[in-house]
A = this chain, B = another copy of it.
Amino acid sequence: MVDERAAQRHASRDHRIAHRVGELTAQLVDASGAPLADREVEVTQTRHAFGFGSTGFELIPHANGEEDASALAEDWLGVFDTATLPFYRGDFEPERGVTRTATIRAAAHWFADRGVRLKGHPLVWHTVKSRWMDELPLDEVKDLVQSRIRREIDDFRGLIGSWDVVNEAVIMPVFENEPDGVPNAISRLARERGRIPLIRDAFAEARAADPDAVLLINDFDLSSAYECLIEGLLEAGVTIDAIGLQTHMHQGYWGEETMLAMVDRFARYGLPLHLTENTLLSGELMPADIVDLNDYQPESWPSTPEGEARQADELVRHYRSLVEHPSVQSITYWGITDKGAWLGAPGGLLRADGSRKPAYDALRQLVRGEWWLSPTRMRTDHDGRVRVSGFLGDYRVTAGAASAAFMIGRAGSDALLAPLVVA
């Protein structure tokens, strides 16, 4: 427990993150409505409004009781509050109609029980394909695309509130890098029907299945192509709730300037931006001439001490700069651990043996330190009021055995809450 409010004061005074910080005065009352005057209480943040996310893939066996990964779970929950769960169709439905729904649902429950927000990724994608769809006629493919959107959203309603509806649509119709050389059905569909009709229909299906869900498109192509696609979708009347931007940096950190110039280009559509897939390596970088990252998977790709120091530094710079940008609403790190990491790359915050890299501690110090209100003792005034400032998010105030939850929902505001019943 921290008695000092130095960090909190620091945060609230930093104009670069003023849009992330709110301040409010709450009057605490007891069950009878009487103010809790001149009382010592404890206030603590319980979750960020900003999404500090990671993949939840690694904890699926643990959540299903298939292995004990308690230490990993503790480290995961010690930094992150938002998980991306896998819906790659080739894995999720390896045979037509045979799905991993139960397994993924158990994982979704595990996360939700711990206050973690969930995103499903992705509903439509050409990669990690269902081979059984390859040979089907396009009308059937189209029906299968629409019905799986409906099925997954129905099956996870109340658990998963956000979906990458269509992934990597820019390259989708012209994608040809098939591991097995067989053209996939989704690319065939996108080429035949066009990107916008495909996305429009997918979003319509998703929206009908859950009007409250946050629906994203998501892409690694951050060139003008994605801008053009987004402009086309907006002109076509497709309501996108957030724009997903992938920034796997296996070839090196781009630096704040390049990253923010990119973010600015997409911010001009006035939509929230989700940095959906972030990777920074703690080992050798991938050669710059690799175009499709999947084409580079060396036999051994170790994490190194110098790499780990660099990763920690870059991670802090990356998160700071993105949190400072008002359009960014979430950052999802692409995998907490090197164990089983994509491409075998040392992009985790934990080493393969589970030990913490410097990047883990650095990120935790930000997300649950500098940007976080740890349990803090305060004294109410003679009207039972306390003044709390901190990062936008969920909070709890405790007075003895009684407590109440509240939210700092608006930056810079000083709104008086209705009396908060602490009971």
- Residues in chain A within 8 A of chain B (CB atoms): 170-171, 173-174, 191, 194-197, 221, 223-229, 231-236, 265, 268
Q: Nearest 10 CB-CB pairs, A to B?
A: A232-B232, A225-B225, A228-B228, A228-B229, A235-B236, A224-B225, A196-B235, A170-B224, A225-B228, A196-B231
Chain B contacts of A265 at CB under 8 A? 174
Contact of B170 with A228 in the complex, beta carbons under 8 Å: yes
CA of A224 to CA of B227, assembled, Å = 11
Nearest CB of chain B from residue A385's CB, rounded to whole Å: 46
Contact of B232 with A196 in the complex, beta carbons under 8 Å: yes
Identical copies of this chain, number:
2
Query: Which of B174, B232, B268 is the one whose CB lies under 8 Å from A229?
Result: B232
Nearest CB of chain B from residue A168's CB, rounded to whole Å: 11
A238 and chain B: residue at smallest CB distance:
B235
A171 and chain B: residue at smallest CB distance:
B224
Nearest CB of chain B from residue A308's CB, rounded to whole Å: 33
Nearest CB of chain B from residue A238's CB, rounded to whole Å: 9
Nearest CB of chain B from residue A48's CB, rounded to whole Å: 32
Contact of A236 with B225 in the complex, beta carbons under 8 Å: no
Most B CB contacts (10 A, CB to CB) among A170, A171, A194, A233 go to A194
Contact of B174 with A224 in the complex, beta carbons under 8 Å: yes
CA of A156 to CA of B385, assembled, Å = 76
A and B contact pairs by CB, cutoff 8 A, 22 listed: A170-B224, A171-B224, A173-B227, A174-B224, A174-B227, A191-B268, A194-B231, A195-B228, A196-B231, A221-B224, A223-B225, A224-B225, A225-B227, A228-B228, A228-B229, A228-B232, A232-B232, A232-B233, A232-B235, A232-B236, A235-B235, A235-B236
CA of A170 to CA of B228, assembled, Å = 7
Contact of B195 with A231 in the complex, beta carbons under 8 Å: yes
Given A174-B265, A194-B234, 11 extra CB contacts under 8 A: A170-B228, A174-B224, A224-B225, A225-B227, A225-B228, A228-B229, A231-B232, A232-B232, A232-B235, A232-B236, A235-B235
Nearest CB of chain B from residue A167's CB, rounded to whole Å: 15
Chain B contacts of A233 at CB under 8 A? 232
Nearest CB of chain B from residue A169's CB, rounded to whole Å: 8
CA of A224 to CA of B222, assembled, Å = 11
A170 and chain B: residue at smallest CB distance:
B224
Chain B contacts of A227 at CB under 8 A? 173-174, 195, 225
Chain B contacts of A195 at CB under 8 A? 227-228, 231
A269 and chain B: residue at smallest CB distance:
B194
